[in-house]
Amino acid sequence: MREIVFDTETTGLDALKGDRLIEIGCVEIINRIATGRFYHAYINPGCAISPDAVAVHGLTEEFLRDKPAFLECVGDFLEFVGDAPLVAHNASFDRGFINMELAKAGYSVIPDDRFVDTLMLARRRHPGGMNSLDALCARYGINNSKRTKHGALLDAEILAEVYVELQGGRQALLALGSFSEGGTNTGTLRQVGPRPQPLPSRLNEEMRAQHRAFVEAEMGEDALWLNAWKDEDERVSQKPQAVVGASA
């Protein structure tokens, strides 16, 4: 599955009050593994940048003066993201600026259901915990030492690692299958059904009797464990006994 993890930097906090996009950073992941492909652009907003915003990301009007406008970047951005889900931390903020810029440039906005919010994922997984990007890096042991200031591409790279951990880590998607030259899994998961013949119990009758005696003494004759043993006895009596032997 292809997904795009992204981050933005802006001139301020409110896309509806004239603030603009000044940086986009995107990284591609497939099956929750970074492919090494990325998209990054600095953007000239054509307006002033809040001093508070500069303190966060360090991008000044002077630095952005010779950078392209969003209209010059939008084609490459849309080509890179394609129709993949877009993963962001506090996605409503980034979505608001992306869709505002798309609308101003005459493009269709991206539907809300294409965005995945890692902040909401973190709040569900760690209720009551600190769920900033830095806090999640500390929780999962992810190195963010280069993050002295916010930067869209660096934050997207770090967020990609956090996103994998929020989904259970890479091992959650391990599957044995063949891979194409492009790295896409072309195999199918093998469906494993129940054993034709259940394995015999490792408990012998003496061990079972000792357990029954213990349960009766400690919990009484109405203990649920005793009912479980009765059910087990019935299953054992209804199936052929396993033959244990040794090869010559």
Report how far apart, in Å, the C-alpha atoms of 121 and of each of 124, 142, 155, 165, 211 are.
Answer: 5, 17, 17, 11, 44
Query: What is the rounded distance in angstroms from the CA atom of residue 46 to the CA atom of residue 44?
Result: 6
Q: Which residues contact 11 (CB under 8 A, 6 or more apart)?
A: 19, 20, 22, 45, 47, 48, 49, 50, 53
Alpha-carbon distance of 13 to 20, in angstroms, equals 9
Q: Specify whether the backbone of 76 is left (phi greater than 0), alpha (psi in -120 to 50) or beta.
A: alpha
Q: From CA 78, how far away is CA 110, in angstroms rounded?
A: 10
Structure tokens at 193: 């059904």
Side chain identity at 196, as an amino acid letter? Answer: P
Catalytic one among 40, 89, 150, 211?
150
Q: How far apart, in whole angstroms, are the C-alpha atoms of residue 238 and residue 242?
A: 12
Q: Is 150 a catalytic residue?
A: yes
Which residues are known catalytic residues? 150
